Amino acid sequence: MPGTARPETAASAKTASRERDSGSQASGSYIYGIVPGDVELAPDVRGVGDPPGRVKLVRHGEIAALISEVDLDRPLGRPDDLVAHQRLLDDTAAEVPVLPLRFGAVVTSEKAVADELLEPYHDEFLSALNELEGRAEYVVKGRYVERVVIGEVLTENAEAARLREEIRGRPDEATWDARIRLGEVVGECVEAKRDTDTAALVDALAPHSVSIAVREPTHEQDAVHVAFLVEADREEEFERIVDEFADGWAERVTLRLLGPLAPYDFVMVGQQEEG
């Protein structure tokens, strides 16, 4: 598994903020990620901002940073900005290894990108990029079909079935405690099913993955949510197995495969918290 790169870039970010507040600097360099130094960009690549800024490279040694100029008077954080950030990184990851920076990383200048990020962490970044060569992240996300999973719980769990009969046809106020308990039982059963289904998926895909990260559920009906780092020459077999799960779970789980993506779950260039 690639080592997680977390350089301390908060100082440069704070500098940009102070100069913006004093009115002495109108723009800064927004950093998307780190790539090999021999990468070339098409001239029409665009990133965050309104209008979207032109993306370019700041090179140092054998690595480079993907950046674009941003207006420091315009706060970042619109959904369009996040989409642009991720789209650029994912499109890049489909072609070359990339180390993603967290959304919103801004420094004062291109010189600061080289001096405060690329130069001090050159060897660490280069090593991580070499480990990612020929690999990409894929995310398998599945959500239970609610009526099906609830039906499974009522069939398999005696307490849930009894509570369902107890509240059937009776007013809410007369069965309040039973309804609350039924919700708790269903939640516990769905969580257990999620653990079982996630384990089955991970066991099947582990031999075809370099590394695995089980994500937290984003919805109470989530069935699986797992990120995999996959070698390019194993992608076809990996996708075949995901398709088999999708077919086998077709009536109870809606399964999606996302990728190739930048390796957000396996290596992320971060920033320290201010303060």
pLDDT at position 219, please? 93
pLDDT at position 43, please? 87
pTM of the model: 0.83
Nearest to 106 by CA among 63, 64, 77: 77
Nearest to 264 by CA among 178, 121, 137, 103: 137
Distances (CA, A) of 60 to 69, 107, 122, 185: 18, 16, 8, 57
pLDDT at position 25, please? 64
pLDDT at position 7, please? 37
Q: Is 175 exposed, middle or buried (0-12, 13-18, 19+ CB in 10 A)?
A: middle
User: SS3 for 24?
Assistant: coil
What average pLDDT values come out for the chain (275 residues) when binned by 10 residues? 36 39 71 96 91 95 96 84 95 94 92 96 96 95 97 96 92 91 96 98 97 95 97 96 97 96 85 38
Q: Show the domains of the chain with their CATH numbers.
A: 10-133 (no CATH), 136-261 (3.30.70)
Distance CA 71, CA 100 (A): 21
